[in-house]
Chains A and B, each alone.
Chain A
Amino acid sequence: MYSEKVMDHFTNPRNVGEMPDADGIGAEGNPVCGDAMKIFIKVKDNIITDVKFQTFGCGAAIAVSSMVTEMAKGMTLEEASKISKASVAEALDGLPPQKMHCSNLGADALHKAIEDYKNKQGK
């Protein structure tokens, strides 16, 4: 049902964990709905230098989180803002239709983390 890439990111997720000194944090989803993600970013000179995630959810949700963190690492904030549910799903060689909402969550959590960073900078 899942692509090899999804299974790879699910069984060996990249960038798992908390980041106590994160510059931005984005949370999306809710355990009641079945998936919840937290993405932490570290930013230097407008570039995302480190990303971590924590996820409660199915195989697709965990693989999406892992892929989003891998894609965003090293990107400028503008580039990372353009990561979409479609680009995450594509990078994973596709997701089953009923799991597309998972890639939505991943992109949204990342965008929220960027927003959080920008808000903190604004203060």
Chain B
Amino acid sequence: MKKIYLDHVATNPLHPEVLDAMMPYFRENYGNPLSLYGPGFKAREAIESARESTASLINAKAKEIIFTASGAESNNFALKGIAYALQGKGKHIIVSKIEHHSVLNSARFLEKQGFVVTYLPVDNHGLVDPEAVRKAINKETILISIIHASPEIGTIQPIAEISKIAKEKGVLLHTDSVSSVGNIPVDVQELNVDLMTFAAHQFYGPKGAAALYVKEGTRIVPLIYGGIQEGGRRAGTENVPAIVGMGKAAEITKRDLQKRIDHIRPLRDSIISSTLKIDKVILTGHPEQRLPGHASFVVEYIEGEAMLLMLAAKGIYLASGSACSSKALKSSPVLISIGVPVHLAQGSVVFTLGEETTTEDITYFNETFPQVISRLREISPYSKGWEETEAPTCIAKK
């Protein structure tokens, strides 16, 4: 059976050119980049060259890139590193309600350390209102962190508008661009942000390689202390093959990005128009201001994990934001934040396309998805409509 991978927001396969670039750094050029002899120099050069291409992808300077091991680490680093660096100036941080857990949980950690956090709401399309950011800023505010694009609903935030306000007020702005870098053009000069998180596996690089862009002159306290790696801002012997892979993936992405977008956007549009023909299906997120390969829906009367399993049985892989499909068995806070009622949030599905997605894949998907929906609706007690549901007392999901 053909496998159709429509979960590119979760991760991506390694690009073959990336694998080729990484291979020599496992066995041949295995030196420690800090060593003062041949193999060490080679590893050092490889890292610095990867830093150049990684920086170039987002139009930054090489010295503004700190390599980390994951998007989650970069997000933790940005929030905690800036909070601790600037706590003498103030202790207030602003984030949106639809941030990734690595931002939200870092913010909650900082609250326990005495920082004050404002969680900004979003509208029904998932957009943060820049004016709400302005209103939330006070004399104590040291950092704003707003996700660039939502992996769950695809909405792209007006980061450049928010940064204008942040600059005006003299507050640093961090954006979590894990879902955007590699999927849309991202330019730190245009966005005018101070910090940006992005991860290699979102653009066909390896897992375990990510970066935090820190604008030149920005003070940040390290998360990991030790040696002088990454300019003393992130200690630990570098994961040379992964960093090389990130550099190569960045180079390829810079070269191929427009081609990728031109390829996936019409395929994604086809998923949206075909799926919205089905009765009682709603597009979540912004209809236009969204990632080009991203389609997300709530399907009424049925549950997301059941759709996911039935599509997986037919070779189609996707994600769901339903409570049952999450290990924590909680409805997606993002869907609740955009005003999706809890019972509808159970029917959430997310499809994300990549460069290897073909027209045939999408034709097959467009034939298969309605069948899966109608099969599950045959089983559902609500196929004729939601009954009056009493205020529920949910069984503790243990």
User: Which residues of chain A have a CB within 8 Å of any CB of chain B?
Assistant: 2, 7, 10-11, 13, 16-17, 27, 29-38, 54-62, 98-101, 104-105
Beta-carbon contact of A31 and B382 below 8 Å: yes
| Least CB distance, B89 to chain A, in whole angstroms | 44
22 example contacts (A-B, Cβ-Cβ < 8 A) are as follows: A10-B306, A11-B310, A30-B343, A30-B389, A31-B343, A31-B386, A31-B389, A32-B342, A32-B394, A33-B323, A33-B394, A33-B397, A34-B323, A34-B331, A35-B324, A36-B381, A54-B379, A55-B381, A56-B301, A56-B382, A60-B324, A101-B395
Contacting pair A55 B324 (CB below 8 A): no
Query: Once the chains bind, are A34 and B390 in contact (CB under 8 Å)?
Result: no
Cα A54 to Cα B305 with chains together (Å): 17
Interface of chain B residues 275 through 327 with chain A (CB within 8 A): 301-306, 309-310, 313, 322-325, 327
Residues on B with beta carbons closer than 8 Å to the beta carbon of A100: 398
A57 near B306: Cβ-Cβ < 8 Å: yes
Contact status A34-B324, CB under 8 Å: yes
Rounded to whole angstroms, the CA-CA distance of A27 and B73 in the bound complex is 46
Q: Does B371 contact A (CB under 8 A)?
A: no
B329 located at the interface, meaning its Cβ lies under 8 Å from any Cβ of chain A in the complex? yes
Taken together as a complex, chains A and B put the C-alpha atoms of A87 and B310 apart, in Å, by 25
Find chain B residues with CB under 8 A from A35 CB. Answer: 303, 324
Q: Tell me the number of A-to-B contacts counted with CB atoms below 8 Å.
A: 94
In the assembled complex, the Cα of A118 lies from the Cα of B378 at a distance in Å of 29
Complex CA distance for A33 and B321, rounded to whole angstroms: 14
Q: Which residue of B lies closest to A105 (CB)?
A: B395
For the complex, would chain B's binding face be called helix, strand, loop or mixed by DSSP majority? Answer: loop
Name which residue of chain B comes closest to A55, CB basis: B379
Instruction: Select the residue from A27, A101, A104 with max chain B CB neighbours within 10 A.
Output: A101
B346–A62 CB distance below 8 A: no
**Would B303 and A34 count as touching, CB distance under 8 A?**
yes
Q: Say if the beta carbon of B392 comes within 8 Å of chain A.
A: yes
Interface pair A55/B343, CB less than 8 Å apart: no
Contact call A62/B381, Cβ cutoff below 8 A: no
Which residue of chain B has the shortest Cβ distance to A54 in the bound complex?
A: B381
Which residues of A lie under 8 Å from residue B301 when comparing CB positions?
Answer: 56
Residues A34 and B379 in contact in the complex (CB < 8 Å), given A10-B309, A59-B309, A101-B398:
no
Q: Indicate whether B380 reaches chain A with its CB closer than 8 angstroms.
A: yes
Apart from A30-B390, A61-B306: 8 A-B pairs, beta carbons within 8 A: A11-B313, A30-B392, A32-B389, A33-B395, A34-B346, A38-B381, A57-B324, A61-B303
Binding site for A on B (CB under 8 A): 301-306, 309-310, 313, 322-325, 327, 329, 331, 342-343, 346, 378-382, 386, 389-390, 392, 394-398
Query: How far apart sit A62 and B323, CA to CA, in the bound complex (Å)?
Result: 15
- Chain A residue at minimum C-beta to C-beta distance from B330: A34
Give which listed residue, B305, B380, B396, contacts A58 with CB less than 8 A: B305
Q: Which residues of B contact A62 (CB under 8 A)?
A: 306, 379
Contact B397 A101 (CB under 8 A): yes
A27: chain B residues at CB < 8 Å are 381
Residue on B with the closest CB to A29?
Answer: B395
Decide if A58 touches B322 in the complex (CB within 8 Å). yes
Q: Name the CB-closest residue of A to B328.
A: A98
Q: How near does chain A come to B357, taking the closest CB pair, in angstroms? A: 25
Q: Tell me how far the C-beta of A21 lies from the nearest C-beta in chain B, rounded to whole angstroms.
A: 17
Distance to closest chain A CB from B339 (angstroms): 15
**Who on chain A is nearest to B300 by CB?**
A31
Residue pair A98, B329 in contact (C-beta under 8 Å): yes
Name the distance in Å between B306's Cβ and chain A's nearest Cβ.
5
Residues of A within 8 A of B342 (CB): 32
Compute how far the CA of A57 lies from the CA of B301 in the bound complex, rounded to whole angstroms: 9
With both beta carbons as reference points, the residue of chain A lying nearest to B341 in the complex is identified as A32
